[in-house]
Amino acid sequence: MADWKIKLFFDSFIINQCNFDFILRFISLLNGLTMSNQNIELIKEFKDVAKVFMPVIALFIGTFLGFGVEAIKSSRKRKAELSAVKNEMNDELIILQDNLVRMCSVMSNLELYIRNVTNKNEIGIFKSKEKSLTFIPIKIDLMIMEKNFESFYVSAKKDFRHKLKVILHLKNVINKYLDEIRVLAYKENDRKKETNDGNDVVLRKEILEYKKRYIYTTCCMIYNINSCLNNNFPLSKDCDSDSIVKYQLDKLNILLSPDDVKIKRTEKINLQ
């Protein structure tokens, strides 16, 4: 549509130029008796100058309009990409919240199971096995964000760019924890087949450790996605990660504290 308008604009200039002589003749007829030879010569000179500069002016305006059309197209494309990324984050946020609630439940069951095995509480072990002890969420997928990250990095504001970088970093960390949980679960399953004993406390403790890591980091991930979507941080920017974890657990009505999911070794991440 825009290209058609530009073509029409150029055509109108050409038509106007072709009819320039006619316009001059018409003016001459209206003022025929009063126009002097000097005025006629001035008009002819103006006509010659106009013939030279008219195409240049038309080219300049056409080029300017062309850049304007391209700028509008680029702006609309960026808005569409940003909308797609926000939709992707919102979809992932819903999944993460559900996974977090379920993982916390499984973690509590697993802790109770390990405690019963350690204390050789046979009744407790039997009851623990009736509850879910294994849950491995699917990996986080932010394909659209990763694909368009470069274009966002050029055009987005500094705070938004930083949020996206933190989210992508946390995604990689969480997926790494899920890989470790999956490997340990396979080991436990193989051990169970070999020994007919599902009470391997060492492996269970390792799995529990990574589940806690997953919960802790996922709380931070959910907080950052929410902040990115709503364009604000509910907590102060200088708060520590424990405060973020507590805020997120309370918001999802999970009866755990940051100490319950504390990990032994942590990587300090500037979340804001």
List, as one string, the DSSP characters of 64-121: HHHHHHHHHHHHHHHHHHHHHHHHHHHHHHHHHHHHHHHHHHHHHHHHHHHHHHHTT-
For residues 84 and 63, membership in a common domain is answered with no
pLDDT tens, position by position, 154-173: 777 788 888 888 999 999 99
Q: Which of 66, 50, 64 is nearest to 4 (CA)?
A: 66
For residues 125 and 215, membership in a common domain is answered with yes
For residue 27, pLDDT beyond 90: no
For residues 21 and 55, membership in a common domain is answered with yes
CA–CA dist 22, 209 (Å, integer)? 90
For residues 7 and 128, membership in a common domain is answered with no
**What 3 state SS string does 224-269 have?**
HHHHHHHCCCCCCCCCCHHHHHHHHHHHCCCCCCHHHHCCCCCCCC
Q: Residue 36 in 3-state DSSP? A: coil
pLDDT tens, position by position, 114-140: 776 666 665 555 555 555 677 889 999
For residues 177 and 250, membership in a common domain is answered with yes
| Angle at the Cα of 65 from the Cα atoms of 62 and 71, rounded to 5 degrees | 145
Please state the domain count of the chain. 2
For residues 88 and 68, membership in a common domain is answered with no
- 10: which residues sit within 8 A by CB, 6+ positions away? 58, 62
Please give the model's pTM, rounded to 2 decimal places.
0.69
Domain around 51: 2-72
For residues 49 and 168, membership in a common domain is answered with no
For residues 92 and 144, membership in a common domain is answered with yes
User: Is residue 269 one of the residues assigned to a domain?
Assistant: no
